[in-house]
Structure 1
Amino acid sequence: MTSFYEINGNKILLKQQLSYVAANSPFYKKHFQSNKINIAEIESYEDFKQIPITTKEDLQHFNKEFISVPGDEIIDYVTTSGTLGNPVSFALNDADLDRLAENERRSFEMLGVKKSSVVQITTTLDRRFMAGMAYFLGLRKLGAGIIRTGSGLPGLQWESIERFKPEFLVAVPSFLLKLIDFAIQNGIDYKNSSVKAAVCIGEPLRNPDFSLNSLGRRIKELWDIDLFSTYASTEMGTAFTECEFHEGNHSLLKLIFAEVLDENQEPVDKGEIGELVVTPLQTKTMPLIRFATGDMVKFYGKNCKCGRESLRISTPVGRKQQMIKLRGTTLYPQQIINLLTAFQSLKIFVIEARLNKTKTDEILVRIPEDFAEVNELQEHLQAGLKVKVVLKKASVEEIEKLKFPRESRKPKLFHDFR
């Protein structure tokens, strides 16, 4: 089996990172001491695996203990999106911001952005959000033209596209559908615009077999632009990005050491699904060692047609904590989302998971009051999931309030009340 450890050539950087956290991180000083970890003895991946996993709960409960630089070195404060719990604070110093810029420069280059390109960023650069800032820093380092429209405001987006002629958009996929709807309603010839590709974040575009999922297919059918999938998180400070062949998201050498682990915390084989565990390299302010992301991804190995040595993973097929056991069938919310998105007459929905009286999982899908094809939708879902879920009608206003909660920076299609 080929592992990230063997391919990435990151052994020296990994040892440097271990030495750095052992000397500077209050959390890891205690972590290594209490688990009897001597970093000087770590010479192989088998040795490295002896370090216990760092969890999101560790970050939440001991947040300030992860800070490994003097307070006056900190330049930027951000928070996570809080998808799996309370948002976590994160801090970056000058070196971390330089690293973040290099990460995004390399990511943009991988998907074809050049110095001569113009890129429109339709994601927020405020609200303590790392991604928008990272895109700006990376494009600035690359030297590309940047249009900072921020999120929402389809009219402004199209006015900016007409005025500045960007070839690339950075966008959440579902927002691309809103742009298309606005263009159709307002007579904008969007199919002949300057836009040739979209760098997509926040929502998966592809199935584990590399095919476009229902959301990706819907966008592609309406607007024949190139769609690039990316995957990242605040904690990683690193992106996994598709190349031009769209066969998995590449890791970036020298910036991250990644593991894909099974339920026994052993590396999965090529083609298998496991939890992504990461050790970002060259981070200074809040370094993490063997951080469990909670994201379940498929591991593809190397040998991409592009010839890059980096290994590839899928975008998350689900969250480990969001796994659903429904009458003996294991599901992840994304499977349900893909099926609902594929049903084109259904324009809006949210999914809820609860425990019933017998303390077993129950799924409810809220759909609009005026939606007429309930029986057809039920059959469509049952054929795809092999189990029946409850459909419940609600007002569009109620569904929108659940889908776009005030505190969230992304659409929230799944609510877990278990």
Structure 2
Amino acid sequence: MKDFLSPELSNQQQWQLVKQHLEYASRKSPFYQRLFKAKNIQVSTIKTEADFRRIPITTKEHLQRQNLDFLAVDYTEIIDHVTTSGTLGNPVNFMLNEADLQRLTYNEYESFMIAGVTKNDVVQITTTLDRRFMAGMAYYLGLRKLGAGIVRTGSGLPGLQWDSIQRFKSKYLVAVPSFLLKLIDFAQQNAIDYRSSSVKGVICIGESLLNEKLEDSALRKRIKDLWDVELFSTYASTEMATAFTECELHKGNHILPNLIYTEILDENGNPVENGEAGELVVTPLQVESMPLIRYATGDMVMRIEEKCICGRTSGRIGPVLGRKKQMLKIKGTSLYPQHIQEAMNTLGISDYIIEAKNDEFGNDQVCIKISEGIGLNLVQVQNKLRDQLQIKLEIQQLSASILLQKKFPKESRKPVIFHDLRSI
């Protein structure tokens, strides 16, 4: 296993890793070789963060259109081929060699350590390990390095999940938070004493568990009211190959500065102040196969710089407030789909999707479509949402079967709650 530096780095040590990364990309990556030449950028002259920001942003569109130009090793070195989830478009190919797999292993090892998982614990992975999904494999590799027991159940199948928990005494789950509500519902319907189960914590993926005030989200509160397990939020993406994880204090996700250099930027490309939100731009460090420099994630997050009481000195990020491209402007009010989801979670409604369209004048229109089978008074729901969001949204009912198809399309690895039909 490759030896990685401890995540507790000084700024000077991290900057050395950044410079090594720039030098590597300038020698090995066809994409960055062309970019640096076109912009007359000499890596040796980049000595400060201000110098670093002279390098143009890399976007997902660059990765899609010039995919193989990002490859910095011989194609025959690639061991694992994965793709992004395709939330905002077609999935993007991503490739890892042996060194990258070792880096991915170490990343998840550190992530599980932050959440308090030890080699004595049994961890049940309730996400897919196939379907070109990097994260499922990363969890498995990280837990192997940690030495923990592993149960690979895959996604869905509440009955199998509970049977596995009871058989193997799983202490932690890796799961999408909203899936826990389905586990609870299944347990209640099948007389399973879930509150007395072996599960004590859940490493949560895909959904934020904090709100903008760094307080528990409605989803976290709803789960905790039903099942007193500790929920740890994580944030990651295929392109980053790095996880940001909550510690036991649950006040933001810790950055691993030995694996990733982060910037949180305003609309003008300038760093935001502590406590402010901006777009997360990342430079994953110590990557060999497809190195990225100043990659725009499209995710709007909050910058948290003060030292965490847990003792870790690295910065943190707040919850994902929304995708930059998914921002909605309705009658002068700006919001993200996550704001609507938080409001729906507050109302205890799970069976819905959000659709955004343009009206005849090109303005944003939003319609929330709720399952017919849950017997809600739509006017009451509309009024309660208006009280929370300060705007009135259209609400329609949809048959349970059609809603299920829209929310869980066959080609998607995760639920699709927001459907953006606007011509942006």
Same fold (TM over 0.5): yes
Q: How far, CA to CA, are the matches of 1:307 and 1:270 in structure 2?
A: 19
User: What is the DSSP-based 3-state SS (H/G/I as helix, E as strand, rest coil) of the residue aligned with 1:233?
Assistant: coil
Counterpart selection for 2:361 from 358, 362, 367: 358
**What does residue 141 of structure 1 align with?**
145
CA 1:258–1:251 in structure 2 vs 1: closer, same or farther (change >3 Å)?
same
Counterpart selection for 1:78 from 77, 82, 86: 82
1:348 aligns with 2:351: yes
Q: How far, CA to CA, are the matches of 2:83 and 2:306 in structure 1?
A: 33
Pairwise CA RMSD:
1.3
Structure 2, gaps ≥5 residues long: 1-7
Q: Deviations over 1:96-126 (max 9, x none)?
A: 0000000000010011011111100000000
Whether the aligned pair in 2 keeps the contact of 1:8 and 1:254 (CA below 8 Å) is no
1:378 aligns with 2:382: yes
Whether the aligned pair in 2 keeps the contact of 1:5 and 1:11 (CA below 8 Å) is no
The alpha carbon displacement at 1:70 in A equals: 0.4
**What does residue 199 of structure 1 align with?**
203
Q: Deviations over 1:215-263 (max 9, x none)?
A: 1111110000000000000000000000111110000121000000000
Query: Structure 1-normalised TM-score?
Result: 0.97
Q: How far, CA to CA, are the matches of 1:314 and 1:200 in structure 2?
A: 15
**What does residue 57 of structure 1 align with?**
61
1:369 aligns with 2:372: yes
Q: Deviations over 1:186-240 (max 9, x none)?
A: 0000000000000000111111222221111111100000000000000000000
1:253 aligns with 2:253: no
**What does residue 47 of structure 1 align with?**
51
Q: How far, CA to CA, are the matches of 1:209 and 1:149 in structure 2?
A: 35
Query: Structure 2-normalised TM-score?
Result: 0.96
Whether the aligned pair in 2 keeps the contact of 1:353 and 1:416 (CA below 8 Å) is yes
**What does residue 406 of structure 1 align with?**
410
CA 1:197–1:52 in structure 2 vs 1: closer, same or farther (change >3 Å)?
same
**What does residue 4 of structure 2 align with?**
none
1:329 aligns with 2:333: yes
**What does residue 308 of structure 2 align with?**
304
**What does residue 14 of structure 2 align with?**
10
Q: How far, CA to CA, are the matches of 1:374 and 1:362 in structure 2?
A: 18
Q: Give the fraction of aligned pairs with identical amino acids, expressed as a percent.
A: 56
**What does residue 96 of structure 1 align with?**
100
1:221 aligns with 2:225: yes
Counterpart selection for 1:32 from 11, 28, 36: 36
Q: How many residue pairs get matched?
A: 414
Q: How far, CA to CA, are the matches of 1:222 and 1:355 in structure 2?
A: 39
Whether the aligned pair in 2 keeps the contact of 1:350 and 1:366 (CA below 8 Å) is yes
Q: How far, CA to CA, are the matches of 2:183 and 2:172 in structure 1?
A: 14
Counterpart selection for 2:109 from 105, 108, 120: 105
The alpha carbon displacement at 1:309 in A equals: 1.2
**What does residue 119 of structure 2 align with?**
115
The one-letter amino acid paired with 2:201 is A
Q: How far, CA to CA, are the matches of 1:322 and 1:246 in structure 2?
A: 26
Q: How far, CA to CA, are the matches of 1:347 and 1:95 in structure 2?
A: 41
Whether the aligned pair in 2 keeps the contact of 1:230 and 1:315 (CA below 8 Å) is no
Q: How far, CA to CA, are the matches of 2:54 and 2:350 in structure 1?
A: 48
User: What is the DSSP-based 3-state SS (H/G/I as helix, E as strand, rest coil) of the residue aligned with 2:79?
Assistant: strand
Q: How far, CA to CA, are the matches of 1:171 and 1:369 in structure 2?
A: 27
Q: How far, CA to CA, are the matches of 1:56 and 1:207 in structure 2?
A: 26
Q: Deviations over 1:120-149 (max 9, x none)?
A: 000000000000000000000111111111
**What does residue 19 of structure 1 align with?**
23
The alpha carbon displacement at 1:410 in A equals: 0.6
Q: How far, CA to CA, are the matches of 2:30 and 2:9 in structure 1?
A: 26
Q: How far, CA to CA, are the matches of 1:282 and 1:198 in structure 2?
A: 29
Whether the aligned pair in 2 keeps the contact of 1:8 and 1:257 (CA below 8 Å) is no
Q: Deviations over 1:310-357 (max 9, x none)?
A: 10001211000000010100010000011112212x340000000000
The alpha carbon displacement at 1:372 in A equals: 3.1
The alpha carbon displacement at 1:6 in A equals: 7.5
CA 1:175–1:356 in structure 2 vs 1: closer, same or farther (change >3 Å)?
same
**What does residue 3 of structure 2 align with?**
none
